[in-house]
Amino acid sequence: MSRFLLTFAYNGAHYSGLQFQPRQTTVQELIEKALSQVLCEAVKVILSGRTDTGVHALAQLVQFDVKTEKAINRALNEKITRQLNGILPHDIAVISVKKTTNRFDVRKSVRKKTYTYLILISKQKNPFLNDLIWRIPHPLDLEAMRAAAKHLVGKHDFTSFCASDSCAVSKVRDLINIQFKTRCPFPLFKLKGDRCISIEFTGNGFLKQMVRTIVGTLVAVGQNKITPGDLKNILAAKDRKVAGLCAPARGLYLKKVIY
């Protein structure tokens, strides 16, 4: 038995999330089918984590075990990557396949994750970026958003920013850094007057809808609906009802997983 680590990217717009769900099209289902076809044996993957419907990934990771060493050796690294990409749809791209030790656990070995959320400030619709970014028609107070974000950095109970149906036993997470950038990641499709904001979150783990709810709350600060100082009270309340809306999935990207 040999264990492998698969790194891949995907546009989540047309999938019901990463994790397998009956009677719905998911990224995991297509990855497993492609691996099984290439390796000529039934393959099941273990996920490093989950992404919700519509969320994207720049470097998602899964592990899988194979029984037939011979089958793997014939199509290792670049070759197996080419074969998988030839089978998978255009919005899923395998980056690499690497052998790892049988002791490695793709979920339990994670030390940090980084997510990026993209916002487009524009009064006009952008037909090229609709599935890739959250468009907000009015300006945001970026300095107020930065000030508010500082209250969230550190080890806290993030119940207020977690989906109410989360089954996580503990809602405590260490949010290591929140960084704001204003460079547009899609300069070719940037229309006149557009302004882009990316918010990058690095932490030791994230709860269901945590990043999207934080973004929705920071946008409320940027719209002057609440003050930066209100974030301290929202965090302390441990009540999802007091936080802002859950930002659309289309603007969220899993950027990297660190082991």
Q: Indicate which residues carry an active-site annotation.
A: 52
- CA dist 221 and 230 (Å) reads 9
Centre a 10 Å sphere on the Cβ of residue 134 and count the other Cβ atoms it contains.
21
Q: Alpha helix (H) ranges present in 137-186? A: 142-149
Tell me how crowded residue 94 is: count the other CB atoms within 10 A of its CB: 22
Instruction: Look at residues 130, 127, 101, 110 and name the one whose alpha carbon lies nearest to residue 118.
Output: 130
Spatial distance between the Cα atoms of 129 and 127, rounded to a whole number of angstroms: 6
179/220 Cα distance (integer angstroms): 17
Burial 38-74 (b: 16+ CB within 10 A, else e): bbeeebebebbbebbbbbbbbbbbbbbebeeeeebee
Burial 183-200 (b: 16+ CB within 10 A, else e): ebeeeeebeeebebbbbb
For residue 4, what are the CA distances in angstroms to 83, 84, 100, 129?
A: 16, 14, 5, 34
